[in-house]
Amino acid sequence: MENFKKFYGNTKDRLFGYLIRLTGDYELSRDIMQDSYTRYLDRYGDRELKLSLLFTIARNGAMDYFRKRSRSEPMNDSTATAAEPADDGENAILIREEYRLVMRAMMRLPPADRDLLSMVISSGLSYREIAIMTNLSEANVKVKIHRIRVKLKEIRDGM
């Protein structure tokens, strides 16, 4: 159990960052993160502590949520209630506003693009590991990330 505690301590911030970028919702991200660690521990214990496996579980949990939600209501910008950095002056206000704009722009990306970009930004996983998780080639992941970043910049500039 001590190994799992260390694993949790070393991975929780990256996993939460991925989920917040993917969902745009602070509370939902916390719920999915908690559920992911619980599922991981129930299924694998602390014998096989792999970051890519944890992210796969979290990704599947988020995709399940989006599938269920898409049946009942469309996703919109009002769902972006991400955590904000503390206000410590003019610089913090500018950073917070930029963060909001980027999060709103990310929420306009198709879910698959948002997922892939969030994984690259937050996970610390290599392109090879992400390729394996997403059933894409490593080269395809790199190309898609470049195109997604261009698209995100276009969305951001148009806001």
Mean pLDDT of 21-30: 90
Q: How far apart are CA 23 and CA 83, in angstroms?
A: 12
Q: What is the mean pLDDT of the chain?
A: 84
CA separation, residue 153 to residues 26, 75, 140, 156 (Å): 23, 21, 20, 5
Mean pLDDT of 145-154: 93
Domain that holds residue 133: 2-157
Beta bridge partners of 81: 25
| Residue bearing tokens 């790199």 | 142
Question: How many Cβ atoms are within 10 Å of 14's Cβ, its own excluded?
Answer: 17
Q: How far apart are CA 90 and CA 96, in angstroms?
A: 10
Instruction: Return the SS3 of 82.
Output: coil
- Phi, psi of 32, rounded to the nearest 5 degrees: -65, -40
Cβ-count burial of 134 within 10 angstroms (0-12 exposed, 13-18 middle, 19+ buried)?
A: middle
Q: Which pLDDT belongs to residue 110? A: 92
| CATH classification of the domain holding 68 | 1.20.140
Split into its structural domains, the chain has a count of 1
Q: Which pLDDT belongs to residue 73? A: 57
Q: How far apart are CA 55 and CA 126, in angstroms?
A: 12
Mean pLDDT of 59-64: 91
Q: Which pLDDT belongs to residue 95? A: 75
Q: How far apart are CA 115 and CA 109, in angstroms?
A: 9
Q: How far apart are CA 81 and CA 23, in angstroms?
A: 9
Q: Which pLDDT belongs to residue 135? A: 92
Instruction: Render pLDDT for 62-112 as a digit per residue (tens, 0 to 9).
Output: 989 888 887 765 444 444 444 444 445 677 777 777 778 888 888 899 988
Q: Which of 38-42, 69-73, 83-87, 153-157 has the lowest mean pLDDT?
A: 83-87
Q: Does the pLDDT value for residue 24 go beyond 50?
A: yes
